[in-house]
Amino acid sequence: MPLNSDLHSETQRLPRIGEKAPFFKGQSTQGEITLDDYKNDWVILFAHPADFTPVCTSEFVALQNQYSEFQDLGVKLVGLSVDSLASHVAWLNSIEESFDVQIEFPLISDANKVISETYGMLAPESNNTESSRAVFIIDDDAVVRAMIYYPMTTGRNIDELLRVTRAMKTSDETGDNTPANWKKGDNLLAAPPETLEDAKKRMKDSNYDCKNWYYCEKDDEQSSKKFYNPFLYNN
């Protein structure tokens, strides 16, 4: 029989990139929602430490201010913390009154901590009494594509959430990779060639701007269309 510490470690295990996202169901400020409600949609599931706190409030205002950009990208937002549903409702009302910002995305009450434990979202620095500042980006096949954690004191960069999601969707569509600091409209990086012959051909191909055989830039408009990146779908 496993020790209690082993059980605790198991419940805190993080989902891994490339794995199916764990199922979740919870009561939210927009009624009961489940992961299945987001079939065929990309979704960003994010946790915040506590309602009525300054950093979390700044994040919700910022997310709502850029909400239309997430919609244009085909991405749903779902917030979560271990606060009660009554607290969520009161907090969102307070945000609307104080900042003239109405939050349009749902906020789950995970008071029993089931979702937080399943996703490894509980913050050790709070003795597991609060959610961490965690982000899970889940694609339209319910696969975890990215995980980002921020410290309690530091608000999230909303532009970066948009950028990394757009980058992954672009890679899915083109089969190419995105370099450091990539943003929409920048050149892409071709995936490394699989054979010596491919490497030689690529160096002579006018569609590529190659620094060497393994580093070749490619205009986004010249990229061939693909529908998924096989690296992420081995499970």
Same domain, 164 and 203: no
pLDDT score, position 161: 98
Same domain, 154 and 183: no
Task: Choose between 22 and 192: higher pLDDT.
Answer: 22
Number of domains forming the structure of the chain: 2
Same domain, 119 and 40: yes
**Domain closes at, from 169, 201, 224:** 169
Query: Which range (80-84, 85-89, 205-209, 226-230) has the least confidence?
Result: 226-230
pLDDT at 111 over 50: yes
Same domain, 225 and 208: yes
Alpha carbons 60 and 105: distance in angstroms, whole number: 10
Beta strands in 25-69 (DSSP E): 25-28, 31-34, 42-47
Same domain, 55 and 108: yes
pLDDT score, position 173: 95
Same domain, 183 and 165: no
Give the pLDDT band (50/70/90) at residue 7. Answer: very low
Same domain, 124 and 191: no
Give the pLDDT band (50/70/90) at residue 128. Answer: low
Task: State pTM to two decimals.
Answer: 0.86
Same domain, 15 and 46: yes
Alpha carbons 29 and 174: distance in angstroms, whole number: 37
160-184 per-position pLDDT tens digit:
999 999 999 999 999 999 999 999 9
Same domain, 118 and 135: yes
Contacts for 9 with CB less than 8 Å, ≥ 6 apart: none
pLDDT at 11 over 50: no
Residue 195 sits in a domain whose CATH number is 3.30.1020.10
210 part of the active site: no
Same domain, 98 and 203: no
Same domain, 129 and 227: no
pLDDT score, position 130: 73
DSSP state string for 3-29: -HHHHHHHHTPPP-TTSBPPP-EEEEB
Q: What percent of the chain has pLDDT over 90?
A: 74
Same domain, 209 and 153: no
The residue annotated as part of the active site, out of 35, 43, 56, 161, is 56
Domain that holds residue 81: 4-169
**Domain closes at, from 169, 187, 208:** 169
Mean pLDDT of 36-43: 96
Residue 159 sits in a domain whose CATH number is 3.40.30.10
